[in-house]
Amino acid sequence: MTYQTNQNLIPPHGGYRKLMSYQAAEVIYDFTEEFCRRYMSYRTNKTYTRTYDQMVQAARSGKQNIAEGSMDSGISKKIELKLVGIARASLEELLLDYEDFLRQRGLRQWDKDSSEAREVRRLAYRSDRSYKTYEGFLRNPEEAANCAICIINQANFLLDRQLKSLEKDFLEQGGFTERLYWERRKYRTNKTHKTNKTK
């Protein structure tokens, strides 16, 4: 949902479900939950369980911080920038976990230009995409981890672009405090002008 208010003071905000970065992060979260359930939950030692929890939390953090940043954007572009940055950092952490998973088990990591990686990238253009779009890659741990790496790289690319756009908007338009100052000043000027006209 996008919230509309006094657009001079609080611009439209929310609408995060339409963001491609959020859609990708949601896929990553659901995919990671299923990946961990299939390939990491059968072991019970504490290190393994901790990694499972950290991967799921990193995936969730990516998704939730994009949503929260979008909702906070009407009041604070600074907070939005911070939260989108946290989302980006969380997905980078998750990316490293998937790379570690492959390396520590002696599994192959796909080259970014491999036919398998290109196949995963093509799926990003589907309008009905969900984690089930990638279910075929969950049949074994090597394919699953590589698929996740591809989707995370796509999400990180989108978040990098989003951060650049947010930085540009902040520099050009300022933040809520500046808008508040100028709206208050405009209000006072108009009020003074009306008072003078009635005299």
pLDDT in tens, 132-148: 999 999 999 999 999 99
Structural domain of 88: 2-173
Asked if residue 90 belongs to a domain, the reply is yes
CA angle 48, 143, 50 (to 5 degrees): 15
Q: Is the pLDDT of residue 84 over 60?
A: yes
Output the pLDDT for position 45: 55
| Alpha-carbon torsion, ordered 30, 93, 1, 23, to 10 deg | -50
CA distance 3 to 129: 25
Asked if residue 194 belongs to a domain, the reply is no
- Measured distance between the N- and C-terminal CA atoms of the chain, rounded to whole angstroms: 47
Asked if residue 178 belongs to a domain, the reply is no
Asked if residue 195 belongs to a domain, the reply is no
Asked if residue 130 belongs to a domain, the reply is yes
CA distance 1 to 123: 26
Asked if residue 179 belongs to a domain, the reply is no
Alpha helices of 73-175 — where are they, by DSSP H? 77-104, 115-122, 141-173
Give 110's pLDDT tier (boundaries 50, 70, 90).
very high
Asked if residue 185 belongs to a domain, the reply is no
Asked if residue 191 belongs to a domain, the reply is no
Give 12's pLDDT tier (boundaries 50, 70, 90).
very low
Query: Are the C-beta atoms of 86 and 17 separated by less than 8 Å?
Result: no
Q: Domain count for the chain, please give it.
A: 1
